[in-house]
Amino acid sequence: MKIKKRYGKHGGYLPHCVDRDIIRRIKKEEANNPEYYIRVDDKFFILNEALITDSYKYIGFFIYGISLLYIIGRFSINKEIGFGFSFLIILAGSLSIFYYHNHPKKELILDRMNGMITFPNYFYFKPFTMPFEDCLVAWSVKNSGASPTAPRLSLLHPNGFTSTDVMGADILEDWCFMNWYMDKNRPLPPGTAFDEYRLQDFERRKAEGFPKPLFPGTFHTPERTPSQHRQRKEIGGW
């Protein structure tokens, strides 16, 4: 998938690199909560990005409530009911609830072994899948003025203009985590959610000769134990 290398009139992208010891440490009990994490292991990191769709359900019920009060009010003061207006707001409520129950999955999928990333598109459009190294990333603030939203990590769509915001509000933290996880030549990121997979991941990299990291970095990612770190240095040379 070819992507237009442009990000608005200001330009600017975050580099693929690991330049810090990340603070984000996903706990095992957190990883078992499907409301946020669909899968967390040494092969896939799948984050639920659909929490925002809950708002459609509440918007739908809110619109229904407003339309009901409107109709009751028109009856109570003996005025002709505006059926056209009532129909439109009821339709809007119905569409909001329908979208909530039928929207496509909104997931951020990091495929560590194959180096691929999948992230949501708008509404019913198909999600984007591309090599992680080709993904263009910046930060975005969707609102401006007196009440701007917190900046978030923004993944550029192939059209070169629109984007999808993912993860939380700590942009550099989230991006560093993604790079660390997607570099299959490095140890898994910190966090108890990955602990049960660290040994098998170490043995896989050892069998491959401990190839050097795919992405540059100023932070030296350590192995879990001094013995493992020593083996990596002796075999891989880094």
Phi, psi (degrees; rounded to nearest 5) at 48: -75, 115
Predicted local confidence at residue 97, as pLDDT:
57
Between CA 148 and CA 93 the distance in angstroms is 27
Confidence (pTM): 0.77
Task: Identify the band that residue 69 occupies on the pLDDT scale cut at 50, 70 and 90.
Answer: low
Work out the mean pLDDT of the chain and round it to a whole number.
81
123 has a pLDDT exceeding 60: yes
Task: Report the pLDDT averaged over residues 11-19.
Answer: 84
Predicted local confidence at residue 128, as pLDDT:
95
Which one of 18-22, 95-99, 103-107, 215-219 scores highest in mean pLDDT? Answer: 215-219
Task: Identify the band that residue 59 occupies on the pLDDT scale cut at 50, 70 and 90.
Answer: low
| Dihedral sign, Cα of residue 31, residue 36, residue 39, residue 42 | negative
Q: Which two three-digit tokens encode residue 2?
A: 């070819």
pLDDT tens for each residue of 165-184: 998 878 889 999 999 999 99
- 174 close to 153: Cβ distance less than 8 angstroms: yes
